[in-house]
Each structure stands twice: as structure tokens, then as C-alpha cells.
Copies of this chain bind each other. A is one copy, B any other.
């Protein structure tokens, strides 16, 4: 397994450079395809655009002329050919980075995170806000969101310049199309019209989605999914989530709220989940499940909080404590079972294991992958590839920014 723990956003493949949009389906308007291609390339010549998108030079000239008039693309000098003596000076195109700014936000259980990017996808500022854990009323979350945005604007170069859209990811059942949240472990209320409320308060277009979908977008735009048309992402943090890219597009389920791997049942009358049901996969794997087991079986100093409990559990397992190791061992066996079910149902070529908890390398050990293989049907093909990324929350927030950027681009060029 390729484990690459990364706490710092600058270590993300693709780093702070421009976002790389995936190959687009044919239904995406050509103007948007041109803009996305130029953004992915950084600088692109018209001839290269025509070749990549399979359209005529004349079409490219017309489309780019539109985008230049709209203030979204501009001409820049291209790298000179080896023999600069011949022909006219070469011209390339780049995205007008300062044309728009977008914000991406990850709402979470211990700290919220935000990034500000320009229209070319460059990271301009980042911020995070530690918060009290646990379920809260919407109004409390909104207050935290305001404090987070204040920090982000303070860190932003040029101060609080206008922002064109905000993308927000949070755990739970989130209907991206309507912006409603039927259930989230962060919210006391059920069926919250989150997009509507936020757009009223912030006076900005807001796009909401499940947080694992945001991370999946981040992997698709500038992570391990760049080279893949189809892959699965399984996230282990405060909960267990999943995202799936099919044919270069995020698959959200037939009605938009699927992929709830953490709440698939791995048995009747099993461990109690945050959602109130029993036997959910995440009730064996997530932060709160491990912390609950540690509190039961280990003598831990009281009042340390969940994070301290987890760190103590991990330290003891490393030191060889059998009770601590048994807790991780069981979690690993259930992770193997969950991954095996993902393989049986979705048959992906690649599963990306992601989330800060992947630092607990017991969860991504060779035995877990061996058990995942052993649980599957006999298959003569090469086994599914599993990669492990311990991205920090800012990468999730960048995925949320990618969602906002994508929506702004679609609006402008559609």
C-alpha cells in the first residue's frame, strides 16, 4: 500500500497550483470545456486546445474570442520555439485569475476549515476554526461559519474583495441538487434548507454537498484521481464516508443521496451508531467508535477529550498493549469488510482511503488488504489498487472550492 501521510496542503500532488478539471462529458458546453482545459494546463495555445477537444481551429478562435471578451481568458506570450527566428511571436491563453474568487469550506466536528482561491484555482488564503464537538442547532453553526469567514478574509491578500460563490461540505445526508440536509451528525435539526438559509445570510451563491463528495472532487481535480476515469474514495474520520467517480463524474446515487457507506449495516443488533441505528459500518471504525472502545478497555486519564483519547490509544497500540491492539485489529477487520463490499458492488480499479485517521497505520496495514481480498469472490483480474492519503481538512475544503469554481464557470459559460 502506498501510504503518503500529508498534513500540509502544500504537499498535495498538484500542490497549490491550478486545479485540474477532469475530462468532461460531451454534454458540457464547449466554452466551458475550453476554459476548463486552459485552467488545467495553466497556459495553452489555440492549436493545442483544438487538438485536445477535437474541434476545428475556427471553432477555437470563436470560442476563445468570446471568453476573452467576457474577461475570463487573456492572451499571454507562449514559450518560444527552439528556432525563434521563424514565424510570428507565439501566443498562448491563460485564465484571468483575478476575474473571480471562490471559497471552499469543510464543516466538521472539531474544527471547520476554509480556503479562498482565485479563478485559476490558485490558493490565496486558508483558515480554520477550532469548535466544541457535538451536534448543534443551525444558528450555532452559522455563528461558527461567520467567525471562520472573518478569519479567512483577514488572511486574504487584498482583504475582503467580492467572492462569487461558496462551496460547503458537511457530513450526513446532503441533497446537492436542492441544497437540503435531511440529516447531519453536526446538526440538531432535521431537514435543514441549508443552501437557502446560507444564501440569505451570506448574499452569495452557495453550493452544498456531502463532505466525502468534496474530498472525492479534490482527488479528481488535483489528487490521485487525475489519471483515472473511475475510482472510489473511502473516508475515515469522525464518521465513515464514500465518494465515487464514474466516467469522470461524481456519482451521487440515483436520487442524489447515496454512497452512505458508513451507514450500511454489517450485522443485525450491532454496535450503536451516531445515527441511532445499530450495526452501521462506521460504528466499528470512526473516531467516536475507537474512542468509545478505548474508554471502556484502557485506563486513560479522565477529561482528555476524544482527540487525546485517540492519541493515547494509538500510542499504546504502538507500544504493544494487547487491549489497544485488539481495538485497532477489530476496526481493521471491519474496514476490510467494508472495502470488500465496495469492491463487490462497484468493482473499482482504485480505492483511495482518505482522512486524517489514516495516520493510524493499523487501519491501512497489509493484513487489512489481505482480508479484503480474502473476503471477495475469486477473480482472475489484478486486485483492486488501494492507496492511502492522510490529507488534512484543507484538502477537503479545496474540494468544496472546486465545486464552487465549477458552478461559477458553468454559470458564466453555459
Interface stretch of the complex, out of A139-147, A148-156, A337-345, A394-402: A337-345
Q: Are B260 and A377 in contact (CB under 8 A)?
A: yes
A21 adjacent to chain B (CB < 8 Å) = no
CA separation between A255 and B232, bound complex, in Å? 12
A259 adjacent to chain B (CB < 8 Å) = yes
Q: Are A253 and B191 in contact (CB under 8 A)?
A: no
Q: Are A183 and B377 in contact (CB under 8 A)?
A: yes
Contact of A258 among B183, B268, B346 (CB under 8 A): B346
CA separation between A374 and B268, bound complex, in Å? 12
CA separation between A231 and B275, bound complex, in Å? 26
Residues 236-271 of A contacting B (Cβ, < 8 Å): 242, 244, 246, 251-261, 263-268, 270
Q: Are A380 and B254 in contact (CB under 8 A)?
A: no
The count of residues in chain A whose C-beta lies closer than 8 Å to any C-beta of chain B is 55
A204 adjacent to chain B (CB < 8 Å) = no
Residues 178-197 of A contacting B (Cβ, < 8 Å): 180, 182-183, 190-191
Q: Are B341 and A378 in contact (CB under 8 A)?
A: no
Number of copies of this chain that the complex holds: 2
CA separation between A35 and B361, bound complex, in Å? 56
- Please name all residues of chain B whose beta carbon is closer than 8 Å to the beta carbon of A279 when the two chains form the complex: 337, 375
A347 adjacent to chain B (CB < 8 Å) = yes
Q: Are B345 and A260 in contact (CB under 8 A)?
A: yes
A276: nearest residue on chain B (CB-CB)?
B378
Could you mark each residue 385-410 of chain A with 1 if its beta carbon is under 8 Å from any beta carbon of chain B, else 0? 00000000000000000000000000
- Please name all residues of chain B whose beta carbon is closer than 8 Å to the beta carbon of A334 when the two chains form the complex: 268
Q: Are A230 and B258 in contact (CB under 8 A)?
A: no
CB distance from A286 to the nearest CB of B (A): 15
Contact of A265 among B254, B277, B341, B381 (CB under 8 A): B341
A325 adjacent to chain B (CB < 8 Å) = no
CA separation between A239 and B291, bound complex, in Å? 39
Q: Are B340 and A257 in contact (CB under 8 A)?
A: no
CA separation between A244 and B259, bound complex, in Å? 14
Q: Are B275 and A254 in contact (CB under 8 A)?
A: no
Q: Are B347 and A379 in contact (CB under 8 A)?
A: no
Q: Are B341 and A255 in contact (CB under 8 A)?
A: no
CA separation between A318 and B31, bound complex, in Å? 65
CB distance from A133 to the nearest CB of B (A): 20
In the assembled complex, 19 residue pairs joining A and B whose CB atoms fall closer than 8 Å, in A order, are A172-B377, A173-B377, A173-B379, A182-B377, A230-B255, A231-B254, A253-B345, A254-B346, A255-B381, A258-B345, A258-B346, A261-B344, A263-B344, A264-B344, A265-B266, A267-B270, A268-B334, A277-B375, A345-B345
Q: A26-B27, A231-B254, A265-B340 are in contact. List 14 more A-B contacts (CB 8 A).
A: A26-B26, A182-B381, A183-B379, A230-B254, A230-B255, A254-B347, A256-B347, A257-B379, A258-B345, A258-B347, A263-B377, A265-B375, A266-B266, A277-B377
